[in-house]
Structure 1
Amino acid sequence: MDSDPRLLVVAADDALIGPLCEGLDQLGWPTMTARTLNAAELVLSDLSVDAAVVDARGLDGQDAVARLRAAAAPRYLPILMVGSSQAEGRDVDLMMSSPPHPAQAALRLEQLTRAGIAEEEFRLRQATFAAHGVTLNAPDLGETPLQILTAGAADRRFLAMANALAAAGAEVVAAPTPYTAFDYLHERAFDAAVLWGGQDQAPALSIASGMKRNTRLYHIPLILYLRGTAEVELADLFRRGFADVAAAETPEDETAERVLALARNHRRRQAIRRALDSVRGSDLMDSATGLFTRDLFASHLARVAEGARSRNRALSVCVLRVSESEPVVQSRGGGWLDRAMPQIGAMVSRLVRVEDTAARLGPELFALILPATGAVAARLAAERISAVIACTAFDAGKDRSPFVVEFDVGVAEMQQGETPAAVLERASADLPRP
């Protein structure tokens, strides 16, 4: 099965977004270019394109978005429009006045694509539970305004961006220091956080690092707003977990709209997660961890595999087995590892993406279904989960040091004509020998 994402570029020439397309090609987003909307519609009718990048110059933004979406239907097409103002193409997923860094564009396109996949997964999950007599209710987005945390010193541009967020209806909470930022983060739920990269970016990087080590804060989108034009390594910032980086010359209103787009996406995904979590207490789920049982996992894997084939998308399965370390072996004696399993299961459920399915296949064996994910990305996701859990110390009893849990990881990507049971078996066989 072809697991490479495909990106449609709609541009009359390469002057504005040609370099962006070259960078996206190098980052694993192969591009196809259509010089007119008519040509783009033909491409969309023939190929399963994951997303589109549109040069807005000379186009009617609203008309372009409507035509591209109609041509791609029934599959949802995320659209990034470059060279447009906020007044144009209001139905577009993301607008930027100038071409972003390729790493930034790749990250945002991935986020937009995953949001669509999460919606598909929710419908598949509804069907799986319905087949077992359980109703999965629609996501509840709530009625409160979007909650945005802004962390950093009071600067004119930073305050202007915060005012633009408030004017758009968001509720903005300002934290002047990393300490107050974490106080707020632990007290209430936020849909996004904007960190100020002033003369010293260390406070922002400290907040980002702390949030990515916390399972509850891990998925909150982080935006770094730069103060000046000093040299920064954008690719490194995205590796650190930032969802977006706004350069100093970016208009405050545009930065605010990018923040709101991330916040809306996060709230929707969290609502889907809550809806999915609402059945954790069901008899269908593992009683200790609230994860899928072996039988329910097998049933859902078959349904997701069928969906992946129909959409020509990748599908990977990961198996995570508790590693045989000396502290783990000792913790089994007093039942301390068993006592830790509910917490470990809860951490796994929070660390997977909304569209991923986590199951407990055995006392110390977990499995993940990762839709639209190739083997390399699946291994990285599983290893990140293992690394975060390994940062937690579990109680080993009186007068004994706490122990940590690490995982052995096995991964398999579904191949053409392969059965769901076979891909799970290959993932298990990929585990290191004990």
Structure 2
Amino acid sequence: MTAKVLVVDDVPVIRKILEAKLVAEFFEVIVAGSGQEAIEKAHAEQPDIVLLDVMMPDINGFEVCRRLKADPLTSHIPVVMITGLDQPSDRVAGLEAGADDFLSKPTNDVALFARVRNLVRLKTMSDELRLREVAGLSLGLGATADPVRDAAALQHAAILLVEEDAAVIEVVRQTLGRQLHLTVATNDAAARQAVQDRDWDLAIISLALPGQEGLRLCAYLRSSERLRQMPVLVLNRAGDDKTLLRAFDLGVNDYVARPIEKAELEARVKSQIRRKSYQDRLRQTMQMTVQLALVDPLTGLYNRRYLDSHMTAHDRAGEGRDAGTLAVMMLDIDHFKSINDRFGHAAGDAVLRQFAHRIRMNVRGIDLAARYGGEEFIIILPQTSADEARMIAERLVRVTANEPFQIGDGRELSVTVSIGVAVRALGEAAEQAVGRADAALYRSKAEGRDRVTVAP
């Protein structure tokens, strides 16, 4: 996977060496020689990842990282801090500044390329969600960064540790157990049962489990549609680059080398949980945006766009099969214009909402109800005969007429509905069945309303 990499270092020789290494791996490289230049180029170039030196003359790397992460235009860009400082406190300071990873000079090429490719992969996965968030924000959905929400995510995070070494388990408990909810599984079977029983905010998996169980578990999590979004941090023996590379190829998010440095483990765990909270918010915004695109906001039923797509899909699925088991029901509220004229549009909206609720309460889970337009509604009923469709339609006529509608200020209004029903004939498109149901609806209107007509 290629990407655009911003290399930031005040020493020209180091910039050239990193640039040459990355170009040889087919990355596009841009460079900056100071903290201020790095911030400006991050805004202008929108790189996929930033490799950032800590020790610079104008603005140190920690401050550059904080500024990039605080800016909505650059906060999504992964930052790897590269420095000659090798104390655990320095790594923790970088992670707490918002860095996604921390490498010491001289850089290990295996670790460098693994980190870059992994972080670019994760960024690519979230970029589409970010685009959806932009659309959602334009519709009033989504939210900006919320420290209170992020703190709550950390406080309530559920972490699964998969490790058999009692000493390592105790170190992780001492590090995380005071603040986070930690559960331990000592083997692959127990871990697989745990991930089926509940959802987790993070899995910490030892790569030292016998028989490569750790790698197999990573592969299992990434192959599951339900589990593949769960962050995975692995515990790896220092110097075992081969196993670590295989883990990154399987899609793990991060690693901590053994023996474990407690402060680094805590910082990396919190970084993963914050990222998951951010991506969960992006997905929630995307789901709300999709819902707005497909659901009628007044009634909560599907809209015409979704209905058309659904019928097209139904036609494709029914090719070569018996298509006569699909029933279509067209519904129209009687004299609806007079309701708006006499009582106002607010009363008309109240009638539409309550009528939609009665539809939902009186159709099956497999049926699809949509607002067709104005006061017209449509219900698609799969695996339904003409007699069954008539029975459901007549029930809707009764529940509409028998209970008055509330239109505000304590006022009640009696409302009736006319319905036309058609069953799709063999070889007939769903849209043609809709047309016949619509014709049957007009016959119900012509014959006095408040009734059901089934198309021949």
Alignment match, 1:86 = 92
Query: What is the alpha-carbon root mean square deviation over aligned residues?
Result: 4.5
How far did 1:195 drift? 0.7
CA distance in 2, matches of 1:104, 1:264: 19
Alignment match, 1:237 = 247
- The yes-or-no answer on 1:183 pairing with 2:196 is no
Larger RCO, structure (CA 8 Å, separation 6 or more): 1
Q: Deviations over 1:177-220 (max 9, x none)?
A: 11211222122211111111116352112212222232111111
Tell me if structure 2 keeps the 8 A contact 1:147–1:172. Answer: yes
Please tell me the residue identity of whatever aligns with 1:118.
L
Q: Deviations over 1:370-390 (max 9, x none)?
A: xxxxxxxxxxxxxxxxxxxxx
Alignment match, 2:282 = 272
How far did 1:20 drift? 5.8
- The yes-or-no answer on 1:63 pairing with 2:63 is yes
- Give the alignment's TM-score, normalised by structure 1: 0.55
Q: Cα 1:266–1:31, aligned 2, differ >3 Å: closer, same or farther?
A: same
Q: Deviations over 1:267-290 (max 9, x none)?
A: 32123323443576668259xxx9
Tell me if structure 2 keeps the 8 A contact 1:151–1:181. Answer: yes
CA distance in 2, matches of 1:293, 1:239: 42
Pairwise mapping of residues 10-409 of structure 1 onto structure 2 (< 5 A)?
10-13=8-11, 22-44=20-42, 46-57=44-55, 60-66=60-66, 74-76=73-75, 77-83=77-83, 84-88=90-94, 90-98=96-104, 99=107, 100-112=111-123, 114-115=125-126, 118-127=129-138, 130=139, 136=141, 138=143, 144-157=155-168, 159-167=170-178, 169-198=179-208, 200=210, 202-227=212-237, 229-230=239-240, 232-248=242-258, 251-278=261-288, 284=294
More helix by share: 2
CA distance in 1, matches of 2:161, 2:258: 16
CA distance in 1, matches of 2:227, 2:168: 26
Identity of aligned residues (%): 17
What SS does the corresponding residue of 1:181 show, helix, strand or coil? helix
Q: Cα 1:211–1:113, aligned 2, differ >3 Å: closer, same or farther?
A: closer
Instruction: Name the count of aligned residue pairs.
Output: 301
CA distance in 2, matches of 1:201, 1:20: 37
Please tell me the residue identity of whatever aligns with 2:225.
T
Tell me if structure 1 keeps the 8 A contact 2:136–2:289. Answer: no
How far did 1:15 drift? 7.6
How far did 1:176 drift? 0.8
Tell me if structure 2 keeps the 8 A contact 1:34–1:40. Answer: yes
Q: Cα 1:32–1:198, aligned 2, differ >3 Å: closer, same or farther?
A: same
Tell me if structure 2 keeps the 8 A contact 1:161–1:253. Answer: no
How far did 1:257 drift? 2.0
Tell me if structure 1 keeps the 8 A contact 2:43–2:74. Answer: no
Tell me if structure 1 keeps the 8 A contact 2:187–2:209. Answer: no
Mark the structure with the bigger radius of gyration.
Answer: 2
How far did 1:262 drift? 1.9
Tell me if structure 1 keeps the 8 A contact 2:205–2:233. Answer: yes
CA distance in 1, matches of 2:216, 2:118: 21
